[in-house]
Amino acid sequence: MAPVLTSPVVSTQWLADHLGADDLTIVDATVLVDLDLDHDGYADPSSVTYETGRDGFERDGHVPGAVLADLLADFSDPGSDLPFTRPGVDRFEAATAALGISNESTVVVYDTLDGRWASRLWWLFRAYGHDAVAVLDGGWSHWLAQGKPYDLGEVTPAPARFVATERPGHWVDKAFVESVVAGDERAALVCASPRDEYDGVSGPLARAGHIPGSISVPSESLRADDGTLVREPVLRDRLALVPDEPRTVVYCTSGVSASVDALALAVLGRHDVSVYDGSLAEWVTDPSAPLVPVAA
């Protein structure tokens, strides 16, 4: 029987205790980012390069039994002009099945960075109807710091069968966000980007700032020094500014860091959350889309 999850996050000890369990799939979702900023802190988005964490997975190690998810080629839409656009149902099903994940699997996701990629894949699973998924609290760095075991080398999973059930409410598009800004829809807008980007001081896009009416909850502010989520009383305090609206929409540069805020809200029992998938990467390409550069 697959291990039962009671939270959207699991501790390193929980995972260590369940290594080798039937129907447990551990997934490394690492993506490496190379971004050259100019002296003003800006970069041409086309100059950003991404690569999977395959080299590190095989050379530096991974959680025993883990498989590697390719968020670039498999868990994104290759036909989109925007980075990391969510894949369609068929593509998600195929990518998930190729990792050996079935509808009966319990899935634990981690990455070797700050948890944003693990949170993004966690959100994709939730959006496609799979609730038995959690993020490893603190990720790979915390796993190693706790002295947990690891393996080296390539892993080839045995394919499985996975059937997705799409939950459209997990996503919103630009038109919906525009309706919120115009006052035609009620929703809280939460920006997960770093505070300097929210304020318009710096940023990787052609325009910096935030969508009007947004509050700032940087994803990095939700993590402790050891990479784990801050404890619940602190987490609740840092998310206390999120208005009580029928819906909460989280966004960032490309919809990845926003998933960390979505994860934190889920830990607090908030299930009214949607991710603006295009996020600012889409928003700023429309010259008529308003942006508030606080410190410009």
Coil/strand/helix, residue 267: helix
For 153-196, write each residue's pLDDT tens digit.
999 999 999 999 999 899 999 999 999 999 999 999 999 999 99
Give domain status of residue 277, yes or no: yes
Give domain status of residue 28, yes or no: yes
Give domain status of residue 219, yes or no: yes
Say whether both 128 and 21 belong to one domain: yes
For 238-273, write each residue's pLDDT tens digit.
999 899 899 999 999 999 999 999 999 999 999 899
Coil/strand/helix, residue 233: helix
Say whether both 156 and 174 belong to one domain: no
Say whether both 175 and 81 belong to one domain: no
pLDDT at 295 over 60: no
DSSP 237: H
Say whether both 90 and 183 belong to one domain: no
The answer to whether the beta carbons of residues 141 and 110 sit under 8 Å apart is no
Give residue 203's pLDDT band: very low, low, confident or very high (50, 70, 90).
confident
Give domain status of residue 295, yes or no: no
Coil/strand/helix, residue 49: strand
Residue 35 is predicted with a pLDDT of: 60
- For residues 73 and 76, what is the distance between their CA atoms, to the nearest angstrom? 6
Q: Please give the single-letter amino acid code of residue 187.
A: A
Region 198-224: what's the mean pLDDT?
Answer: 95
Say whether both 14 and 158 belong to one domain: yes
CA proximity to 277, closest of 256, 247, 248: 256
Q: Which residue has the tokens 């190690």?
A: 61
- For residues 82 and 98, what is the distance between their CA atoms, to the nearest angstrom? 24
Say whether both 162 and 176 belong to one domain: no
Say whether both 94 and 179 belong to one domain: no
User: Any catalytic annotation for residue 252?
Assistant: yes
Tell me, what CATH number does 149's domain have?
A: 3.40.250.10
**From the CA atom positions of the chain, what is the Rg in Å?**
18
The answer to whether the beta carbons of residues 87 and 76 sit under 8 Å apart is yes
For 7-66, write each residue's pLDDT tens digit.
999 999 999 999 999 999 999 999 998 765 554 544 555 566 788 889 999 999 999 999
Can you give the three-state secondary structure of 104-162, one letter per residue?
Answer: CCEEEEECCCCCHHHHHHHHHHHHCCCCCEEEECCHHHHHHHCCCCCECCCCCCCCCCC
> Domain boundary at 166, 188, 223, which?
166
Q: Which residue among 101, 252, 262, 263 is the active-site one?
A: 252
Say whether both 89 and 205 belong to one domain: no
Say whether both 156 and 188 belong to one domain: no
Give domain status of residue 1, yes or no: no
Q: β-strand 171-172 against 31-34: which pairing, if any?
A: unpaired
Say whether both 207 and 230 belong to one domain: yes
DSSP 190: E
Say whether both 75 and 90 belong to one domain: yes
CB within 8 Å of 262: residues ≥ 6 apart: 119, 123, 250, 273, 275
Q: How many domains does the chain have?
A: 2
> Domain boundary at 113, 133, 166, which?
166
Q: Please give the single-letter amino acid code of residue 18.
A: H
Region 72-91: what's the mean pLDDT?
Answer: 95
Phi-psi category of 129—alpha, beta or left, where left has phi over 0 and alpha has psi -120 to 50?
A: left
Region 221-236: what's the mean pLDDT?
Answer: 96
Residue 296 is predicted with a pLDDT of: 46
Say whether both 55 and 89 belong to one domain: yes
> What are residue 190's DSSP bridge partners?
215, 250
Which domain range does residue 232 map to? Answer: 169-283
> Domain boundary at 133, 166, 199, which?
166
Give domain status of residue 296, yes or no: no
- For residues 260 and 242, what is the distance between their CA atoms, to the nearest angstrom? 15
